[in-house]
């Protein structure tokens, strides 16, 4: 039995939205993705292992839909989920719970430069070596997602803004690629990101001010 034989059942239609089929992988990705973001908003550490399951299934969906950068991103996400799980568990002062904080100017500069370079490189790769029909949008959303995931692993408040920016692009992009359920999922993600931004900001302002240089 080949790998394709093992994965093929997950790409079979679970149901149809109008004339557009929705695969089992997309359906599972929808459910685990919604739960994952809800747990992030609640600062529940179990968001990381559930997030790992989510990105594996969405990786199959994106690969099947020709979103190659997004598919490759899911592989990176598995490593980032493990990293985030570790940091949330042991990354605070004296190995206690990691607190929410604002992003420092140096962090913004580093993340911004890395995101711009990643977008340019991935756009070139997708144009030169794949049949992607949306190379720039695939690349820029991938870069924004990586930037946001890094920020989330450090509990940086402004990482929610990066997720919001990515979701505003993902929603029409996935709809254009006939991934309608995933597009609806990202509408839900957008609402949860706004909720997360408000909840984390409330948590930050509810604690004693920490002396730090912010963006």
Whether residue 14 is contained in a domain is answered as no
For 134-172, write each residue's pLDDT tens digit: 899 989 998 998 899 889 888 899 999 999 999 999 999
pTM score of the predicted model: 0.73
Instruction: For 113-138, write each residue's pLDDT tens digit.
Output: 999 999 999 999 989 988 888 899 98
Counted domains in the chain: 1
Rounded to an integer, the average pLDDT of 17-22 is 65
User: Is residue 15 assigned to a domain?
Assistant: no
Residue 8 lies in a domain: no
What is the distance in angstroms between the CA of the first residue and the CA of the last residue of the chain? 53
Angstrom distance (rounded) from CA 58 to CA 23: 11
The answer to whether residue 75 is domain-embedded is yes
Helices then strands (H, E): number in the chain?
8, 2
Structural domain harbouring 187: 23-91+100-206
pLDDT tens-digit series, residues 77-91: 788 888 888 888 876
Give the 3-state secondary structure of residue 175: helix
Query: Residue 154, Cα to own-chain centre: how many angstroms?
Result: 15
Chain-centre distance for alpha carbon 209? 29
- The answer to whether residue 212 sits within a structural domain is no
Query: Which residue from 19, 6, 33, 1 is spatially nearest to 182, judged by alpha carbons?
Result: 33
């Amino acid at each position: 039995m080949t790998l394709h034989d093992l994965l093929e059942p997950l790409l079979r239609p679970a149901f149809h939205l109008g004339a557009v089929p929705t695969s089992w992988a997309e359906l599972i990705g929808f459910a685990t993705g919604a739960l994952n973001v809800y747990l992030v908003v609640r600062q529940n550490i179990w968001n990381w292992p559930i997030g790992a399951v989510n990105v594996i299934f969405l990786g199959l969906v994106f690969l099947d839909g020709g979103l190659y950068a997004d598919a490759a991103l899911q592989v990176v996400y598995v490593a980032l989920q493990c990293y985030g799980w570790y940091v949330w568990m042991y990354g605070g002062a004296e190995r206690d719970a990691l607190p929410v904080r604002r992003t420092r100017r140096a962090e913004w500069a580093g993340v911004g430069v890395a995101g711009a370079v990643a977008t340019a490189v991935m756009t070139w790769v997708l144009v030169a070596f794949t049949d992607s029909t949306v190379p720039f949008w695939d690349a820029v959303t991938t870069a924004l997602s990586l930037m946001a995931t890094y920020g989330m692993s450090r509990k940086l408040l402004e990482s929610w803004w990066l997720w919001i920016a990515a979701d505003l692009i993902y929603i029409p992009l996935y709809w254009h690629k006939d991934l309608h359920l995933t597009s609806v999922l990202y509408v839900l993600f957008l609402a949860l990101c706004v909720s997360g931004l408000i909840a984390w900001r409330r948590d930050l302002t509810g604690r004693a001010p920490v002396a730090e240089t912010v963006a």
